[in-house]
Amino acid sequence: MGLGETAEDRIDMAVSLRRLGIKSVPVNLLNPIPGTPMEKQKPLDNEELRRIVAVYRFLLPDASIRLAGGRGLLADQGKSYVTGLILKKFNESGKSAAYYKAAMSGNHRNPDGTILPGDALDVKARSGISQPIEEMCPYVYETAVSPHLASRLEKNPIQWDEILRGFDRLCQQYEYITAEGSGGILCPLRFDREKIMLEDFIKARNFHCLLVADAGFGTINSVVLTAEYMKARSLCIKGIIFNHFEEGNVLHEDNRYLCEKLTGLKVLACVKNGEEHLPLSFEELEPLYE
């Protein structure tokens, strides 16, 4: 969205998607970058974004609508989607729960210069938690690249102490904190004169991890390699959650079986497209937060 299309164009696309029976609809927003053909295109503001999402929700009531916020590198494993469902489970159980992400890149910049923290907005909307957006992520970048590169390009380097302080403040206010990884396990948060990896953050606060993976093509390789890397570095993995799972799909069922066999980890839940509730009870979820 934001390429210069009309409102009628957007509606036509939604109608076409409904006709085709599409159940997963990522809404991508143009992120005008200097030096590209669309660099002078005016970004969409918040109100326009709300109207687009409202129209698509009305025309596609059964589809999973995901805000990509202009992030060309959006990981389709759906970590933020699953995180939102986890926090929703805590919230509905009357628990005090919060969300944290050390850094997020590829976000939409408003005309007034502020940047929308896309993942945080999505998690808050999906979960219904009362936590202020400002507490959720200390480093929010516009450029759609890995956080280590975005921070360098935007001249706002990630500071180790600031990441830890932000998380520790939440621990003093909330019962349960769910921290989402910034990219995959090997994604650097900073890589210049100072090197900060995602695993450093995990080790610093002794996190127990859930591995969120897409149920489809290529997941065996990514899940097994991630699990083996984490085990080699003594990072605790509590289990796997599959997203975009389709019951009866031979590929998805086989991926679940092989990922369990090859990693020794249990698939704790399989989240279907558009699912509004995590298929785990609070009693099953709570012990993962030790």
**Residue 34: burial class (beta carbons within 10 Å; 0-12, 13-18, 19+):** exposed
What are residue 109's DSSP bridge partners?
115
Measured in degrees and rounded to the nearest 5, phi and psi for residue 94 equal 80, 20
The mean pLDDT value for 118-133 works out to 90
Task: Assign 17 a pLDDT band (cuts: 50, 70, 90).
Answer: very high
Q: What is the pLDDT of residues 41-97, one digit of tens each?
A: 887 766 677 788 888 988 988 887 766 554 433 344 578 889 999 999 999 999 999
pLDDT in tens, 215-271: 988 899 999 999 999 999 999 999 999 998 999 999 999 999 999 999 999 999 999
**Across residues 182-200, what is the average pLDDT?**
94
At residue 204, the 3 state secondary structure works out as helix
Is 174 a residue whose pLDDT tops 90? yes
Tell me the percentage of the chain whose pLDDT exceeds 90: 63
DSSP 14: H
Tokens of 254: 């086989």
Q: What pLDDT, on the 0 to 100 scale, is given for residue 229?
A: 97
**What's the predicted TM-score (pTM) here?**
0.76
At residue 30, the pLDDT reads 77
Q: Per residue in 132-159, pLDDT tens? A: 999 999 999 988 889 999 999 999 999 9
At residue 289, the pLDDT reads: 92
Euclidean distance between CA atoms 192 and 210, whole angstroms:
29
Token pair for 73: 């590198």
- Residue 62 to residue 231: CA distance in whole angstroms: 38
Q: Are 17 and 57 in contact (CB under 8 A)?
A: no
How many C-beta neighbours within 10 Å does residue 113 have?
7
Name the residues annotated as catalytic. Answer: 101
Q: How do strand 24-27 and strand 64-67 relate by DSSP bridges?
A: parallel
Q: Does residue 33 register a pLDDT over 70? A: no
Mean pLDDT for all residues in the chain: 89
pLDDT at 73: 34
Is residue 65 within 8 A of residue 53, CB to CB? The reply is yes
Give per-residue pLDDT as tens, 199-209.
Answer: 999 999 999 99
**What residues have CB less than 8 Å from 195, skipping those under 6 apart?**
188
More confident residue, 212 or 118: 212
Q: Are 120 and 134 in contact (CB under 8 A)?
A: no
Quick one: pLDDT band at residue 37, thresholds 50, 70, 90?
A: confident
